[in-house]
Structure 1
Amino acid sequence: MDPVAPFAAVLRADNPGPMTLDGTRSYVLRAPGAAGCVVVDPGPDLQPHLAALADAGPVELVLVTHRHADHTGGLARFRALTGAPSRGASPEFSAGAPPLSDGEVVEAAGVHIEVLATPGHTADSVCLVATAGQEAAVVLTGDTVLGRGTTVLAEPDGSLRDYLASLDRLAARAGELRAGAPVAGLPGHGPVVPDLGAVVQAYRTHRSERLDQVRAALSALGATPPGADEALPDELLEAVTGAVYADVDPSVRAAARSSVRAQLEYLRGR
């Protein structure tokens, strides 16, 4: 387990892949001197990983950033190992405690944790602003912001409109937290983000460029997004995906298609 802040450490699960990069990051939060800890995203159902997290205990609370199985697949086993309650924005991942709500503050293991609803990657995505005592805050971003690359807007509930609003909210919060130094992001995949505000702005620019590419692809195809009440033709989705992501590796083709769907949904809702 590697320290990433005076009150936070990370344990990487052994589940590398095209969507998980070198593995899902689970975080252990504990104020200096505190006996218990908070675990954020126990990760996939991998016994050695879950056992190592449990050994960091006693675990007071488990928090979930979003629904995907690489973050939640081991949750039931981890609760059984530790007896700790769990909380996510969705009731599905909450046991022994209520679901997380936007703007609430969780106090556990000497750590102050502010919940920010940041839908877009999934409808239930949250980011967690954590600090302990006088230490600088860090933001646990789940898959809303990654340590490398950019985020997929996942079907069926990924939304570009929600995601852009979430990026704007994260940028504003990072600006509020900045006190002479950039705010660090602790992502669900990839290395620590040293300057979360700068990366969020880069994400925002990237999304705008992708929208321009989708518009250009539609123009070249002589097509327009269907109306709000019309089905999105699969042929159009495939054609735009092929045009915008022509060189994408086959292993992430489904993810590219999912993002194009979100972009087309955004454009037809304008």
Structure 2
Amino acid sequence: MTTTADLPGRPRAGAIGGPATARATCVLAHNPSAMTLDGTNTWIVAEPDSDLAVVVDPGPLDEAHLAAVVATAEAAGKRVALTLLTHGHPDHSDGAARFAELTGTHVRALDPALRLGGEGLGVGDVITTGGLELHVVPVPGHTADSLAFHLPADRALLSGDTVLGRGTTVVAHPDGRLGDYLDSLRRLRALTVEEGVETVLPGHGPVLEDARGAIDYYLVHRAKRLAQVETAVESGCRTPQEVVAHVYGDVDRSLWPAAELSVRAQLDYLGEHGLI
């Protein structure tokens, strides 16, 4: 779930679909919308010399898309051996059960309700299927169950909806919390400094080639929005809807319901910190 305004100052993004790094290939789902951008990015991740692959976010329950993911892996000489979920929103997870049937794989996720025959995922876990090394990074905020996956060999991060290829993401109140989200962004920024992460492979939108710049932009953008919400309250806005109209005038009105989720999360944050 996203907001889609193309805002100034974003780092340059690459193309959508196809190989993105030496180990990661995107198959774009045919579910474009205001909330999913061009569609959901399903990622096939594998070592170049291995015949086993991991799929991250099978996407919606779309038989043609799921078949395309399997076919793309097979065309590269890979068999899908494991399925992972970044979070439980339907555009990422609804196809997981059917994809597990097609591939005979387990589905691993943070939320126990989303797991199928597999273990959970948490901080410190490392996926090693087929020699691949994927580090699990909890990133709550967009949702409580959000995860990212660090791919050290490619200096890349599969970010789910925490960082997008275009626009900014929704803090999906009440499940999503702004304080958690800001902490998660700082955690991801630390990976760009300490682990050399350069590339963001997002759940929606094109690949971002400047991971640190993208995350810095998100942090600045959130700080500005938070200040705008605080100013709106001080100027007399009393309901989330009034704050949305005051703050999100630069966003298409069709996205105002999603913006309201973020506003509610921002209001909670400001209240918790005694700022309103």
Matched, 1:114 2:135: yes
* Percent of aligned pairs with the same amino acid: 45
SS at match of 1:51: helix
| Residue equivalent to 2:41 | 25
Asked whether the equivalents of residues 174 and 265 of structure 2 are also in contact (C-alpha less than 8 Å), the reply is no
Q: Map Cα deviations across residues 118-175 of structure 1 (whole Å, 9 max, x no partner).
A: 00000000110014xxx43210000000001111101331110000000110000111
State the Cα distance separating 1:92 from its structure 2 match: 1.4
SS at match of 1:5: coil
Q: Using the alignment, how far apart are the partners of 2:267 and 2:170 within structure 1?
A: 14
State the Cα distance separating 1:247 from its structure 2 match: 4.0
Q: Structure 1 pair 239/96, CA: closer, same or farther in 2 (3 Å)? A: same
SS at match of 1:28: strand
Matched, 1:251 2:254: yes
SS at match of 2:235: helix
| Residue equivalent to 2:86 | 65
| Residue equivalent to 1:269 | 272
Q: Using the alignment, how far apart are the partners of 1:264 and 1:163 within structure 2?
A: 14
Q: Map Cα deviations across residues 194-244 of structure 1 (whole Å, 9 max, x no partner).
A: 0111111110000110011011101110x6xxxxxxxxxxx6111111111
Query: Which of 260, 263, 268 does residue 260 from structure 1 map onto?
Result: 263
State the Cα distance separating 1:102 from its structure 2 match: 1.3
Query: Which of 89, 102, 110 does residue 89 from structure 1 map onto?
Result: 110
Q: Using the alignment, how far apart are the partners of 1:257 and 1:109 within structure 2?
A: 43
Asked whether the equivalents of residues 10 and 26 of structure 1 are also in contact (C-alpha less than 8 Å), the reply is yes
Q: Using the alignment, how far apart are the partners of 2:100 and 2:193 within structure 1?
A: 36
| Residue equivalent to 1:148 | 166
Determine which structure has greater relative contact order: mean sequence separation of CA pairs < 8 Å that are 6+ residues apart, divided by chain length.
2
| Residue equivalent to 2:4 | none
TM-score normalized with structure 1 length: 0.90
Q: Using the alignment, how far apart are the partners of 1:176 and 1:127 within structure 2?
A: 16
Matched, 1:198 2:219: no
CA RMSD of aligned residues (A): 1.3
| Residue equivalent to 1:226 | none
Q: Using the alignment, how far apart are the partners of 2:24 and 2:90 within structure 1?
A: 23
Letter in 2 for 1:190: G
| Residue equivalent to 2:10 | none
Matched, 1:2 2:23: no
| Residue equivalent to 1:38 | 54
SS at match of 1:129: strand
Query: Which of 22, 32, 35 does residue 16 from structure 1 map onto?
Result: 32
Matched, 1:218 2:239: no
**Structure 1: gaps of 5 or more residues:** 224-234
Letter in 2 for 1:176: E
User: Which aligned runs of 4 or more in structure 1 are off by greater than 4 angstroms?
Assistant: none
